[in-house]
Amino acid sequence: MYRLLIAEDDSTIRRGLVKIIEDMGLAVENIQEAENGQSALALCETFLPHIVITDIRMPLMDGLEFIGTIKQEQPGLFFLIISGYSDFDYAKKAIQFGVNEYLLKPIEKDELKTALLRIIEQLDARSETEHKRISETKAYTEQIKQYEKNLMWDVMTGHNTASELSRKVEMLNNIVPNKPLLIAAGYGDTFQAKDLSSVLTLSLPDWKLLLCNTAAYRYHYALLYFDSGEPLKDGFTKLLQELGSNRSAVKNGNFPKHILALAMAKEQSQIPEALSTCRSLLDSRLVSPITEGVLTVSNQPKTQSMEDATFLTHPIRNAMDTNDYLSIERILKDYFSNLLTDTGCTAEALIRQAKIIELSVLAYTAEQYRYHEKQLNQLQTIEFLLSASQTAKDFVDAVVSRITTIAKNHRPSDTISPVEQVLLYVNRHYAKDITLVYAANLANMNTNYFSTLFKKKTGLSFVAYLQLVRIQHAKELLKDPTLKVYEIAERIGFQNEKYFMKVFKAVAGKTPSEYKQESEHQQ
């Protein structure tokens, strides 16, 4: 809708024009009146019209002088001149001023409507063009912002060749201020990237948050820079105190079990190293169990040199040759149990040793049948299993299951499918936090492909099968009169008692209390 101004010294003509235009039903939302060019000029400052209808001969300031003045201040206006004079000089000067329409008095309604429609059509076209320009500018700006974020993320994660990383760091220097940088990392059962962003923004008002992303399952990273000069030398202590004072905010957000890790980077080139430090700190929770609200601050990750697990190669291969898979499980569990008792054991060591063993098993199967080459490129999923594990035992159980599956597949005539191995794992470890993505990584498969195979094998989705297994065990536990419903829910892997009751009724057709009563009567 457009605003219209009528400048005409004859009040009868002026009000008649207002009435005629209002009755036309055009896209005009507001009409204002002025009795001469001077009044019209003053009104334009606040009214900001889109269309001006003006007479030429008016007192104090005529129409042509008014048009010449206002076009300099508001160049986007559309003008329609009405005049009782057909003098060519007026028309010629109006054209020079860029007047859009020129009508002679007495004005015909149809001519006026046609002229106004032509102006409105041009306004619509200009509006559409401007809207498109604004949209394109906004889209371009968003693309630039996204490119900058992607560039920061690439430098943070360091997933580039040395030359690529050097080039991207140089580009990043033009985007990120030359100020102290901070990498923050967060982990928790229900702790999300948005939660990390919220905690950092609340606790560190002097630090500007540049981006916050999720890099791995439950691992979230943020990049910040110090926005108020230079941080104090004991900045880490100050940060620890500030974040520590806001532990209640984290707890109230319903994610009490969390770790926050911090690492400084004095310049952009140190960002990948700082991120690696944070990752090591988060991983360390497996060998140093966290308590509520623990905050970890460090500049240097601690690494421990440990003997490689290559000495396990021969006993595992011998067990593979005799199909003694129970021995393989025992060998692996004993090795990792001893590893965890070593006070110098680190999360890095757990990952490294797991990869060495798995690579050894893969190499042996490839020597014989050469159909595990694809899996040689999938060792990075071990990092996923670690980030998805809540304890070192969870991680060890997952690794043992994976390696045993590979071992069982070393003979085409004696294979067990990855889905079957996952079924065995679920039946043993149903109380753990096992997601579809976690199960797919156990099987060394793409999530969608694994989901399809699992449903084809069991007739159920992975989530439905896990719930069925849990409820079957719940039924057994409900026979014990000493156990409360919430205790049973926790034992079989449900953190929420209400959700357990909902799932139980959906699977069993009755509530846990009703099932418990029936069991007591039958006894």
Q: Residue 143 falls within a domain, yes or no? A: no
Q: Domain check: are 314 and 278 in the same one? A: no
Between 5 and 241, residue with greater pLDDT: 5
The answer to whether residue 387 is domain-embedded is yes
Query: CATH number of the domain that 478 lies in?
Result: 1.10.10.60
Amino acid at 449: Y
**Same domain assignment for residues 218 and 248:** yes
Q: Which of 128, 144, 160 is the last residue of a domain?
A: 128
Q: Is 116 within the bounds of a domain?
A: yes
Give per-residue pLDDT as tens, 67-95.
888 888 888 889 998 887 665 566 667 76
Tell me which residue range forms the domain holding 428.
Answer: 309-459
Averaged over 405-427, what is the pLDDT?
74
Q: Are the C-beta atoms of 156 and 214 separated by less than 8 Å?
A: no
Average pLDDT, the chain: 79
Q: What is the DSSP string of 278-326?
A: HHHHHHGGGTS---TT-EEE-SS--------GGGGHHHHHHHHHTT-HH
Asked, for residue 435, whether it belongs to a domain, the answer is yes
Determine the pLDDT at residue 130: 81
For 24-37, the pLDDT digits (tens) are 989 888 899 999 88
User: In this structure, how many other beta carbons lie within 10 angstroms of the beta carbon of residue 442?
Assistant: 25
What span, in angstroms and rounded, lies between the C-alpha atoms of 470 and 503? 10
Average pLDDT in the 175-194 region?
Answer: 80
The residue among 57 and 236 whose pLDDT is bigger is 57
- Smallest CA-to-CA distance from 352 within 310, 294, 390, 300 is with 310
> Could you tell me which residues are beta bridge partners of residue 209?
224
Q: Are residues 328 and 409 in the same domain?
A: yes
Is there a single domain that holds both residue 320 and residue 290? no
CATH, residue 24:
3.40.50.2300
- Per-residue pLDDT tens digits for 114-133: 999 999 999 888 888 888 88
474 within a domain of the structure (yes/no): yes
**CA–CA separation, 419 vs 57, rounded Å?**
91
Domain-ending residue, one of 297, 320, 344: 297
499 lies in the same domain as 455: no
The verdict on residue 184 lying in a domain is yes
What is the total count of domains within the chain?
Answer: 4
Which has more pLDDT, 206 or 482?
A: 482
Q: List, for residues 258-303, the tens digit of each pLDDT value.
A: 677 888 787 788 888 888 888 877 887 777 655 544 444 444 444 4
The model's pTM: 0.51
> Same domain, yes or no, for 408 and 506?
no
